[in-house]
Every structure is written in structure tokens, then in C-alpha cells.
């Protein structure tokens, strides 16, 4: 099993996603002789998982069932253990596009955090690219190395435990893109410039506060970056619902019905447009936004090394 290569069969040691519903899923490490408890009953790894195909429908001990899904960066983002605040797919998608990532790209990242963005970047740059990720916190760095090894992507990523603002990324003039998610990104702009290739490399800084953005933009200008721009991505979800609206009385409906011999008591006329006019309402499908929406997460500042 690997997050960048699809495997058809569930094997001992794999990380799989137990899917109970769109709002209910969780990761599990498949191990021979282990059981996993769900609200639908027990899943026995030896008999219910190992050897089965990903996507299989598994019946639990209480008669309920779940699906076992192959892990992807998107599913991992929704289910990973949070060691820090993470980036979600809404921001990750625009970061991947604006940094112009592709297979073979070399990317520097700080900080690693819970590895949400890291997995997406690794999947994008595979099979010939590489991610150099720096994490200030030693325990988080060690946990990230362990997860990358378990997920079969350790050959595509190098994890370093150091302060990027003081010591940089540990590489020079090779990166196609740099991503910063640290409290004071303006202190790392110089190291980011050193890590980027000689010309045309892209940089992105994620900051929750506009004051951080202002200082970062000033530092980017000082180090000669161009095409500096800041984005904010807001996700707004719409529900499709049936809406009933009252038809305005223009004084012609009754006259039209009488002139055409319309009989509202006739069952054959109940579904006709004239019947809706007689009832005074019309129904149609419409997109209605949710009363609550995901608000501000952070500002994304992009720039190019000239």
C-alpha cells in the first residue's frame, strides 16, 4: 500500500479508511489478529480485511456494514490525527495549482505539522520529484517520518528537525517551489530564496493574520520577489431544494381559465400549469446556501523569484 500507488488488495500493515458515511470515517492500520470496533459491530482484520479488495463492503458483527477504502491524500486530510492545525483540500488545491507543481518538482516546506499538505505534495511530485520538509518540533518531526514510512512514501520526502528561520531548508538552488506555514514567515524569506532554483521559482506563505501578510510582502519585495499577490479562499456549500413561491395575481388567470373551459376538479388537470395558477403557487428547484459556512482560515501569499 502506498499513498501514491494504488494497490488492489488489502495487506497486513496497510493503512485503510473505514467508511461508515460521508460524515463518518476513520483510518485503521490493518494488522493480523486485530479487531476494530464500530457502531455496527466488530471488524476482524484477519478474516474481514486481509486479502479483500479495496472498496469492498464488509459486514460487521452486528449485521451493519462499512466500506474499506484505499487511502488518498484527500481522505487522509479528513481523518488524520491532528498534531497541529492543518490545511484542508480547499486551500491545498489552490496551493498546488499556483505553485505550478507537477511530477518531478522539487518542493521545500515548513512546517510539516500534521502532514496534511505534505501528502498532497508528495502525490503531485511523484514518482521523480522530492519534498524537503522542515519541522521545528522534534516529536512532530519524528512522527511525520514514521507516518511517511508507513504510507510507503519515505523515498519521496526528507524530514528535517530544525528552525527554518535560522538554519534554512538544508538545500540550495534546487527547489521549484517553497511553502511556508510558520508564525513569522518574513524571517525565512531569505532562506527560501536560497533554496529556490536560480530563476522562476515560486513561493507561497500561509498566514491567518493580515499583519503577518503585510510583513511577509515587505520581505518578499526586499529580496527581489515579483508577482506578489494574496488570496483568501472561502468555501460556500449550496443545497438543492424544492422552493414554492406564490404567483402574483395579475388579474388574468381566472379569465383565461374560464375562456378555455378549465376545470380544476378534473384529475387530469391537476398537474397542468393552469392547475398551479389556480392554486396560486409554483414549485421549482433552487440552490440554497447553508446558514453556516466555513469562514476565514488564512491568507495565501504567492510570489515569483525573478
Q: What pLDDT tens digit does each residue of the chain (306 aa) get?
A: 789 989 999 999 999 999 998 889 999 999 999 999 999 999 999 999 999 999 999 999 898 999 999 999 999 999 999 999 999 999 999 999 999 999 999 999 999 999 999 999 999 999 999 999 999 999 999 999 999 999 999 999 999 999 999 999 999 999 999 999 999 999 999 999 999 999 889 999 999 999 999 999 999 999 999 999 999 998 888 889 888 888 877 766 555 555 555 455 555 555 554 444 445 888 889 888 888 877 889 999 999 998
Whole-number pLDDT of residue 209 = 97
**Hey, what's the cell of 48?**
474481514
Residue found under cell 384529475: 267
**Hey, what's the cell of 178?**
517553497
Q: What is the CATH number of domain 76-234+296-305?
A: 3.40.50.150
Whole-number pLDDT of residue 275 = 46
Helical H runs in the chain? 73-79, 89-98, 116-125, 138-150, 164-167, 189-195, 210-222, 253-260, 273-279
Contacts of 269 (CB under 8 A, 6+ apart): 262, 263, 275
Q: Report the Cα–Cα distance between both ends of the chain, in Å, rounded.
A: 41
Say how many CA atoms lie within 13 Å of 112 toward its Cβ: 29
Q: How far apart are CA 106 and CA 69, in angstroms?
A: 29
Annotated binding site: 114-117, 135, 163, 181
Whole-number pLDDT of residue 289 = 86
Burial class (CB in 10 A: 0-12, 13-18, 19+), 197: middle
Annotated binding site for S-adenosyl-L-methionine: 114-117, 135, 163, 181
Contacts of 23 (CB under 8 A, 6+ apart): none
Contacts of 138 (CB under 8 A, 6+ apart): 161
Beta pairing partners, 158: 132
Q: How far apart are CA 98 and CA 177, in angstroms?
A: 10
Provide φ and ψ at 252, rounded to 5°: -115, -15
Whole-number pLDDT of residue 279 = 54
186 DSSP 8-state letter: G
Q: How far apart are CA 4 and CA 124, in angstroms?
A: 8
Q: How far apart are CA 11 and CA 31, in angstroms?
A: 8
Whole-number pLDDT of residue 276 = 46
Sequence spans of domains, the chain: 9-71, 76-234+296-305
The structure's pTM equals 0.83
Q: How far apart are CA 283 and CA 277, in angstroms?
A: 11
Q: What is the CATH number of domain 9-71?
A: 3.10.330.20
Whole-number pLDDT of residue 259 = 55
Find out whether 4 and 126 touch, Cβ atoms under 8 Å. yes
Contacts of 213 (CB under 8 A, 6+ apart): 205, 207, 230, 299, 301
**Hey, what's the cell of 119?**
501528502
Whole-number pLDDT of residue 256 = 58
Whole-number pLDDT of residue 263 = 55
Find out whether 204 and 177 touch, Cβ atoms under 8 Å. yes
Give DSSP secondary structure letters for 56-78.
-EEE-TTS-EEEEE---HHHHHH
Whole-number pLDDT of residue 173 = 96
Amino acid at each position: 500500500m502506498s499513498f501514491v500507488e494504488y494497490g488492489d488488495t488489502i495487506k497486513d500493515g496497510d493503512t485503510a479508511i473505514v467508511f461508515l458515511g460521508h460524515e463518518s470515517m476513520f483510518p485503521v492500520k490493518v494488522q493480523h489478529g486485530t479487531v476494530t470496533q464500530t457502531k455496527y459491530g466488530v471488524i476482524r482484520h484477519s478474516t474481514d480485511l486481509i486479502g479483500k479488495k479495496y472498496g469492498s463492503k464488509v459486514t460487521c458483527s452486528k449485521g451493519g456494514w462499512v466500506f474499506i477504502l484505499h487511502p488518498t491524500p484527500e481522505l487522509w486530510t479528513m481523518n488524520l490525527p491532528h498534531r497541529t492545525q492543518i490545511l484542508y483540500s480547499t486551500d491545498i488545491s489552490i496551493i498546488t495549482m499556483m505553485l505550478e507543481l507537477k511530477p518531478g518538482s522539487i518542493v521545500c516546506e515548513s512546517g510539516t505539522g500534521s502532514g496534511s499538505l505534505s501528502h498532497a505534495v508528495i502525490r503531485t511530485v511523484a514518482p521523480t520529484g522530492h519534498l524537503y520538509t522542515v519541522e521545528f518540533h522534534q516529536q512532530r518531526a519524528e512522527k511525520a517520518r514514521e507516518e511517511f514510512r508507513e504510507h510507503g512514501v519515505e523515498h519521496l520526502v526528507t524530514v528535517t528537525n530544525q528552525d527554518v528561520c535560522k538554519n534554512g531548508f538544508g538545500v540550495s538552488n534546487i527547489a521549484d517551489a517553497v511553502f511556508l506555514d510558520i508564525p513569522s514567515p518574513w524571517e525565512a524569506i531569505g532562506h527560501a530564496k536560497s533554496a529556490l532554483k536560480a530563476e522562476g521559482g515560486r513561493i507561497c506563505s500561509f498566514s491567518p493574520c493580515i499583519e503577518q501578510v503585510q510583513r511577509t510582502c515587505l520581505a518578499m519585495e526586499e529580496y527581489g520577489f515579483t508577482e506578489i499577490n494574496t488570496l483568501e479562499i472561502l468555501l460556500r456549500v449550496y443545497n438543492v431544494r424544492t422552493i414554492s413561491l406564490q404567483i402574483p395575481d395579475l388579474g388574468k388567470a381566472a379569465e383565461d381559465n374560464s375562456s378555455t373551459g378549465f376545470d380544476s376538479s378534473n384529475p387530469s388537470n391537476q398537474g397542468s400549469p393552469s392547475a398551479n395558477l389556480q392554486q396560486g403557487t409554483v414549485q421549482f428547484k433552487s440552490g440554497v446556501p447553508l446558514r453556516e459556512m466555513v469562514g476565514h482560515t488564512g491568507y495565501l501569499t504567492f510570489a515569483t523569484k525573478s
